């Protein structure tokens, strides 16, 4: 049975609280997908914008990354193991392009190649709760999500929507010889909500999206490391899966 330090337990509760807040925001925004019948209709801006078969755009925003860690615990080679946790979250920056295909007025298929810049901080502690090291890890990632978008009936110049799909993630620019590295490739599921706002020259879409990874993010095969102290950090982790909350603004 694994033992976690007090800071690890607090980190777990903090991470769970952050995701509860995110899901609460999702529940609050989701009812926007219902037609707003009580409002008064007026002439639409760019009424034929959604009738195009293809359209393009770009998006910018911010994100927060999390890492769900499964510690290895005591082993024959490591009788005094390390326990890792994420003590805090740092916001990152995201930018990308949008390729949108509309097979139906209410449905569309979207490809959003995105570049993420961020940082994750891991805290490693020994079993006696003595702090060993806080390890910052800067991340540069290319995300390739394939999404299905369902939009509600447009009313005036707003149109809420739901979005879901899968993504692949490529980690770049990792420091050679670092005690801990992420796997080059990973994948996961993504879903979110947003609202199209039709302006005179373009469509603005604030979007809140959640990523849930299902592959192991930790690179365990490290021939570049020896069996000394630097190897302990990689050996301390059994598995790590990524999560991310993104608030982006799409321009199409």
Q: Classify domain 6-33+54-251 by CATH architecture.
A: Beta Barrel (2.40)
Domain ranges of the chain: 6-33+54-251
Contact 144, 113 (CB under 8 A): yes
For 11, phi and psi rounded to 5 degrees?
-65, -40
Task: Please write the tens of the pLDDT for every residue from 25-60.
Answer: 555 445 544 444 445 667 777 778 788 889 999 999
243 or 81, higher pLDDT: 243
Predicted pLDDT of residue 244: 94
pLDDT at residue 223 tops 90:
no
Query: Residue 59: beta bridge partners?
Result: 96, 250
pLDDT at residue 122 tops 60:
yes
Task: Please write the tens of the pLDDT for every residue from 182-216.
Answer: 888 999 999 999 999 999 889 999 999 999 999 99
Q: What is the mean pLDDT of the chain?
A: 81
Task: Please write the tens of the pLDDT for every residue from 69-113.
Answer: 888 777 666 667 788 888 888 889 999 999 999 999 899 999 999
């Amino acid at each position: 049975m694994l033992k976690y330090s007090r800071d690890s337990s607090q980190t777990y509760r903090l991470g769970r609280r952050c995701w509860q807040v995110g899901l609460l925001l999702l529940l609050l925004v989701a009812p926007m997908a219902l037609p707003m019948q009580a409002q008064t209709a007026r002439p639409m801006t760019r009424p034929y914008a959604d009738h195009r078969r293809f359209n393009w755009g770009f998006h910018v925003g911010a994100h927060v990354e999390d890492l769900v860690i499964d510690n290895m615990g005591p082993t024959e080679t490591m009788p005094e193991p390390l326990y890792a946790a994420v003590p805090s979250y740092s916001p990152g920056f995201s930018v990308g392009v949008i390729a949108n295909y509309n097979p139906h007025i209410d449905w569309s298929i979207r490809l959003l190649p995105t570049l993420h810049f961020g940082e994750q901080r891991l805290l490693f502690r020994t079993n006696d709760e003595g702090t060993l090291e806080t390890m910052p890890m800067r991340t540069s990632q290319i995300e390739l999500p394939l999404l299905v978008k369902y939009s509600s009936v447009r009313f005036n110049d707003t149109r809420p929507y739901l979005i879901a799909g899968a993504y692949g993630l490529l980690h770049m620019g990792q420091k050679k010889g670092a005690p801990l590295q992420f796997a080059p490739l990973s994948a996961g599921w993504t879903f979110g909500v947003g609202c199209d706002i039709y302006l005179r020259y373009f469509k603005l879409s604030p979007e809140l999206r959640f990523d849930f990874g299902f592959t192991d993010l930790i690179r365990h095969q490290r021939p570049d490391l020896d069996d000394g102290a630097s190897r302990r950090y990689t050996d301390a982790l059994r598995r790590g899966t990524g999560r991310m909350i993104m608030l982006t603004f799409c321009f199409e």
